[in-house]
């Protein structure tokens, strides 16, 4: 008797919309098997996309088909079996070889004859075409979004998605802190490890909380990736090397980003040169007008000497100017600088720039302090709620150790006895309900009047 296997598959790319897809497929296929008189020996399920070869459950199914253990397959549609040319060819070849007698779907039964194989190949071709069109449309949509200056993935720390406008905006809680980290890096005197420690321990920096991740201190790898990401300079760089101009507000300038790459020495990016000479690129040769360059010579005794000379980059104009020692050049420049005077206009400009820089830094410090206060209030609120929960649990445990809570309340109310020595016109009513003793209204009035007379 032919052996049939149910194969149910759903794509992991749309898992939330296909949560019940496999169960509903199995239920419908069992009913179809009963109508066609097929005896199901096994049920195979798989949550894997069929757009590319390499599905483990499908590979196991076809291995059993080639061994002769399975003669028929039940699936909801032909596209559940394959959506790529390779897997479709494997199924059609197994039908041609007689390994698969029938493929039963909700649309009908596909036998191993030529007409059914032709129809099956058309269905496989349509499924493959659907994947190709979907891939093309998604790439076109992503490319159009990149050209408009917006990304289609989770933004780096300091930015967040605007779900309503479908744009990228500044994160009000983390933008100033991340900018502060860039400022510390650009000073060149603070190591990245110190920046990380300051952000996590002093500023209480926490990543943005998402459904399944986030809300944790900044990791070293995330910080290095952040400093190497040109997104902060207003450029979107993809994995294939394509770059687009971002429409979001940049956090640093392009010059600051290039300097940061030199500081951290990222691979594939500008690195610090071996020697740094202070005057190269600033002075020219007085004879030919070429730029001056520097050389370092190390003697046998270990002493180092630096010389500045003409680079001789002006063709057609030979230059015979000799090299000048660095100390001699420094003395010449010092003598020239002593003859210069700062004008009043330049002094005012410098003072204005200094005031602007100081006020900007004060604003950043204030924003950092406010962010720290918000983080502290959040932590204190969480701690306070946890403390109140622990106190409620402890009080409940104490009451349970002393006995039943209702019995304890009854005993406490029973101790409240009414006064016995009232006059004859004072009527006392004793009513015990839910463990409480009540007086009548006349008794309460008499007791209050009597107490007023005594106190008067």
Return the exposure string of 419-443: e unless at least 16 CB atoms fall within 10 Å of the residue's CB, then b. Answer: eeeeeeebeeeeeeeeeeeebeeeb
Give bridge partners of residue 243 from the DSSP assignment. 237
Q: What pLDDT score was predicted for residue 388? A: 77
- Select from 21, 15, 113, 1 the least CA-distant residue to 75: 21
- Select from 8, 2, 11, 4 the least CA-distant residue to 81: 8
Q: What pLDDT score was predicted for residue 421? A: 47
Q: What is the CA radius of gyration of the chain?
A: 41
Within 10 angstroms of residue 20's Cβ, the number of other Cβ atoms is 10
In the predicted model, residues of the chain with pLDDT beneath 50 are 14-16, 19-20, 268, 270-273, 405, 408, 416-456
- Select from 23, 78, 63, 73 the least CA-distant residue to 47: 23
Q: What pLDDT score was predicted for residue 427? A: 41
User: In Å, how far from its chain's centre is CA 53?
Assistant: 30
Instruction: Confirm if 267 and 296 have CB atoms less than 8 A apart.
Output: no
Length of the chain (residues):
456
Instruction: Confirm if 120 and 103 have CB atoms less than 8 A apart.
Output: yes
Q: Are strands 235-237 and 324-325 parallel, antiparallel or unpaired?
A: unpaired
Q: What pLDDT score was predicted for residue 423? A: 43
Give the span between the Cα atoms of 158 and 113, in whole angstroms: 62
- How buried is residue 142: exposed, middle or buried, by Cβ count under 10 Å (0-12/13-18/19+)? middle
Angle at 341 between CA 337 and CA 342, to 5 degrees: 115
**pTM for the full predicted model:** 0.46
């Amino acid at each position: 008797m032919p052996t049939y296997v149910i194969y149910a598959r759903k794509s992991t790319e749309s898992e939330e919309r296909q949560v019940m897809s496999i169960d509903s497929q199995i239920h419908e296929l069992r009913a179809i098997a009963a109508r066609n008189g097929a005896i199901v020996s096994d049920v195979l399920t798989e949550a894997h996309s069929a757009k590319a070869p390499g599905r483990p459950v499908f590979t196991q199914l076809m291995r059993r088909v080639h061994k002769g253990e399975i003669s028929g397959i039940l699936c909801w549609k032909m596209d559940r079996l394959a959506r790529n040319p390779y897997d479709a060819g494997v199924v059609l070849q197994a039908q041609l070889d007689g390994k698969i007698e029938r493929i039963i779907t909700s649309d009908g039964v596909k036998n191993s004859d030529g007409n059914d194989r032709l129809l099956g190949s058309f269905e496989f071709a349509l499924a493959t075409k659907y994947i190709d069109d979907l891939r093309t449309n998604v790439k076109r949509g992503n490319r159009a979004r990149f050209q408009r200056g917006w990304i289609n993935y989770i933004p780096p720390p300091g930015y967040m998605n605007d779900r309503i406008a479908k744009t990228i905006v500044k994160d009000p809680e983390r933008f100033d802190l991340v900018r502060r980290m860039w400022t510390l890096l650009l000073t060149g005197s603070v190591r990245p490890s110190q920046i990380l420690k300051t952000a996590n321990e002093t500023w209480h920096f926490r990543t943005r909380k998402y459904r399944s991740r986030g809300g944790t201190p900044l990791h070293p790898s995330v910080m290095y990736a952040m400093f190497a990401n040109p997104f902060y300079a207003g450029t979107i760089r993809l994995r294939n090397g394509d770059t687009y101009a971002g429409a979001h507000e940049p956090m640093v300038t392009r010059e600051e980003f290039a300097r940061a790459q030199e500081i951290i020495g990222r691979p594939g990016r500008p690195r610090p040169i071996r020697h740094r000479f202070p005057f190269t690129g600033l002075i020219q040769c007085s004879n030919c007008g070429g730029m001056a360059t520097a050389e370092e010579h190390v003697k046998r005794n270990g002493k180092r000497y630096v010389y500045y000379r003409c680079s001789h980059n002006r063709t057609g104009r030979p230059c015979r100017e000799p090299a000048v020692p660095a100390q001699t050049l420094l003395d010449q420049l010092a003598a020239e600088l002593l003859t210069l005077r700062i004008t009043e206009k330049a002094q005012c400009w410098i003072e204005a720039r200094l005031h602007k820089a100081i006020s900007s830094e004060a604003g950043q410090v204030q924003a950092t302090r406010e962010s720290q206060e918000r983080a502290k209030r959040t932590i204190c609120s969480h701690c306070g709620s946890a403390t109140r929960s622990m106190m409620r649990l402890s009080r409940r445990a104490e009451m349970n150790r002393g006995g039943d809570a209702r019995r304890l309340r009854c005993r406490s109310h029973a101790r409240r006895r009414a006064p016995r020595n009232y006059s004859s016109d004072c009527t006392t009513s004793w009513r015990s309900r839910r463990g409480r003793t009540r007086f009548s209204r006349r008794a309460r009035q008499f007791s209050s009047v009597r107490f007023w007379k005594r106190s008067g």
